[in-house]
Structure 1
Amino acid sequence: MHIAKSHRRLALTSLRSVAAGAALAASFAPGALALDEVHLQTDWIPSGEHAAYYGAWSKGIFEKHGIDITITRGYGSGDTVTKLANGAFDFGVADFGAVLAARAKLGMPIKTIGMIYTHSPHSLFVLESSGIEDFQDLEGKRIGITPGNSHKLYFPKVAEKAGTDPSKIVWVNTDGATMAPLLIQGKLDAAPFYSIHYYYQNKAAEAAGEKIRVLPFEKVGFAIYAASLVTTDEMIEEKPELVERFLAATYEAFEWARENPEEACTLHTERVPEVAMDDCMGSLAAVNGFIFNAHSDETGLGNFSPERLAFTWAAVKEAQAIETDFDPAEALDTSLVPGE
């Protein structure tokens, strides 16, 4: 991987020289160089967890990197990777597990080009009043679930690490829209959520006189890569300089949003007025912990460790019953991540 990265950097040096010459010529010509039009689709609805993207759009961070960005909401990582592979947009935000599965099972020509979440926000929400304090306390309890939800697929591995007997869990099929209300009403003992959604779900619980406790999968050692930046093989091969600028702009957006959360959320809520300012601030603060942490300090922002990559692939392979002999390194190329 390091050799490939060196070759990529060498090629980009030539590309940058050409780009620099073009920019110099443009400085003496009337008008500016046209921006590259780029369409980014996220993984889900534009809640506060996406404030860095939408805020940076208004702030002009993408434009600074020569990109005229358009951002649209996603409908789940599986939908994002499928549409990306079919050419519906240029870049996407998708769970790395979905990228692995799409590549290993279906041969989709897509790759992760930069990690976002160093570990998964998968967690279970319980009420503090329930007395449930850890995963072992869930034995004999009712956990809500929706069809195909990855929380249930990953739970056997979590239970193994937590010392919980998964056969003693009662899974209750539930509509996703009613999951939180049923938990708050005490009709479910636990419900699967991403921990980054704690703020506004707990706000609803407190309005009913309750408080939510979070049981993160990661706390028992289930640390797998999650949200990532993705694009097609064709984009990487034919427009590596654009990929590098997109990555540079996006990681700059993350840094800017961490340092200026109020400004990021103000700009985000202007574009997405249905998101409340306090919900945005709460979600953005939670998201930052998945992007900036000891693991990203060790690997470098956007990069990965071989050990966590191997564990992620093992978890995804087991959860989705993938029998293909596949090298997970084929599903990612982080050679264009800035600063490496």
Structure 2
Amino acid sequence: MIKRTAIALLAMFALAGHGNAQSTKVPFALDWKFEGPSAAYFAAIDNGHFNAEGLDVEISPGKGSLDAIPKVATGAFPVGFADINSLIKFLDQNPGAPVKAVMMIYDKPPFAVVGRKSQGVSAPKDLEGKTLGAPPPDGAWAQFPAFATANEIDPGKVTVEPVGFPTREPMLAEGKVDAITGFSFSSFLNLVRLGVPEEDISVILMADHGLSLYGNAVIVNTDFAAANPELVKGFLRAVANGWRDAIADPKGSVEMIAKRNPALDVDLETRRLQLAINANVVTDYTESNGIGDIDADRFAKALTQLSQTYAFKNAPDATLYFTDEYLPDASDRTVK
């Protein structure tokens, strides 16, 4: 059903630019609302990178790390931004669905457990005997079983409280839970904004505690990509340029979001973006290889790690989840 829907909607995007020789309309589904880490995509619009590729990109906010996957798989959006680990599980449960990752953005995923030291949470094992607030659709929560295994946490000793995204940080700030799952940069700064002292916040990054997993990537509807390979390559080249702009001028890039949302706290979101750049985007690997690609050996380890806590219905196959065939040359994907 997913594939048929995608094929039926394919022509809508492939032909969207006809009648306008200057640009092709490309809707882009984000994982989350417009915050600092999304600045690179607005920089790609406002600094003319998408336009240089003949693209008229409209960005739509999302509701979580999994949100864009079905949107792209059904063809409602040709491209999106989503957690690759959730994509792997989606494809295992929906074999043949026309969706695949084509550009890794968070080389080091921001999945984290964020706690309060005053409530006894500073390290992974501290979660035993504590209450963990976790939104069911949260990408970080999806990785918690693997994190627990890697750190010998007994899940039976952790009380899990399902919470909504809007109530997650407030519940921790109010002491109603002892820790939460979330993206490191977002949960940390949300707590700061709520008045929690920075020295009381413990950010336990899963990537620093045993996980080899990757994070969020640009994903495409594969039917759309097969019909429009040069368009997809141009889209990714513009995204790389947008990230380079955001890295060079974080505040200026965040101000581009503020043009769409005057109520945005520019200083706060600039800090959020800088945290994402420092911890998730600019890594030893991306400095050497450019943004977007993955290391095959590490990805194989990640799949093995996922299989320890997720029962695959089908044998994991890295080629089903990620392809580098649309990536621009490494020289066009530098992060410096």
TM-score (norm 2): 0.84
Residues 154-177 of structure 1, C-alpha deviations (whole Å, 9 max, x = no match)? 323223322433332222233333
SS at match of 1:102: helix
Residue 24 of structure 2 corresponds to 36
Aligned equivalent of 1:280, options 251, 269, 275: 269
TM-score (norm 1): 0.83
Partners of 2:155 and 2:166 in 1: how far apart?
25
- The structure whose Rg is larger is 1
Aligned equivalent of 1:310, options 295, 300, 308: 300
Q: 2:41 aligned with 1:71, yes or no?
A: no
Q: 2:65 aligned with 1:94, yes or no?
A: no
Query: CA offset at residue 74 of structure 1?
Result: 2.0
Query: CA offset at residue 210 of structure 1?
Result: 7.4
Q: CA separation of 1:142/1:337 partners in 2, compared to 1, >3 Å: closer, same or farther?
A: same
CA contact (8 A) 1:199 1:279 kept: no
The amino acid across from 1:270 in the alignment is K
Residue 157 of structure 1 corresponds to 146
CA contact (8 A) 2:106 2:214 kept: yes
The amino acid across from 1:73 in the alignment is P
Partners of 1:93 and 1:187 in 2: how far apart?
32
Query: CA offset at residue 98 of structure 1?
Result: 2.5
Aligned equivalent of 1:82, options 70, 85, 88: 70
Aligned equivalent of 1:331, options 321, 329, 333: 321
Query: CA offset at residue 208 of structure 1?
Result: 7.3
Question: Structure 1 residues 124-133 or 206-215, which shifts more?
Answer: 206-215
The amino acid across from 1:265 in the alignment is V
The amino acid across from 1:105 in the alignment is Q
SS at match of 2:204: strand
Residue 185 of structure 2 corresponds to 196
The amino acid across from 2:184 in the alignment is S
Query: CA offset at residue 261 of structure 1?
Result: 1.0
Residue 10 of structure 2 corresponds to none
Question: Structure 1 residues 317-326 or 230-239, which shifts more?
Answer: 317-326
Residue 15 of structure 2 corresponds to none
SS at match of 2:38: helix
Residue 174 of structure 1 corresponds to 163
Partners of 2:323 and 2:196 in 1: how far apart?
45
Residue 44 of structure 2 corresponds to 56
Residue 212 of structure 1 corresponds to 201
Query: CA offset at residue 303 of structure 1?
Result: 0.3
Please tell me the root mean square deviation across aligned C-alpha atoms, in Å: 2.3
Residue 146 of structure 1 corresponds to 135
Normalized per residue, the structure richer in helix is 1
CA contact (8 A) 1:310 1:328 kept: yes
Residue 8 of structure 2 corresponds to none
Query: CA offset at residue 211 of structure 1?
Result: 3.3
Residue 17 of structure 1 corresponds to none
The amino acid across from 1:295 in the alignment is Y
CA contact (8 A) 1:144 1:171 kept: yes
Residues 15-52 of structure 1, C-alpha deviations (whole Å, 9 max, x = no match)? xxxxxxxxxxxxxxxxx952222221111111111011
Q: CA separation of 1:209/1:198 partners in 2, compared to 1, >3 Å: closer, same or farther?
A: closer
Partners of 1:298 and 1:117 in 2: how far apart?
15
1:9-48 to structure 2, matched below 5 A, reads 33-48=21-36
Q: CA separation of 1:324/1:274 partners in 2, compared to 1, >3 Å: closer, same or farther?
A: farther
Aligned equivalent of 2:235, options 239, 243, 246: 246
Residue 28 of structure 1 corresponds to none
Partners of 1:104 and 1:156 in 2: how far apart?
18
Q: 2:243 aligned with 1:258, yes or no?
A: no
Residue 14 of structure 1 corresponds to none
Query: CA offset at residue 320 of structure 1?
Result: 4.0
CA contact (8 A) 1:93 1:228 kept: yes
CA contact (8 A) 1:112 1:229 kept: yes
Identity of aligned residues (%): 26
The amino acid across from 1:52 in the alignment is A
Say how many residue pairs are matched: 309
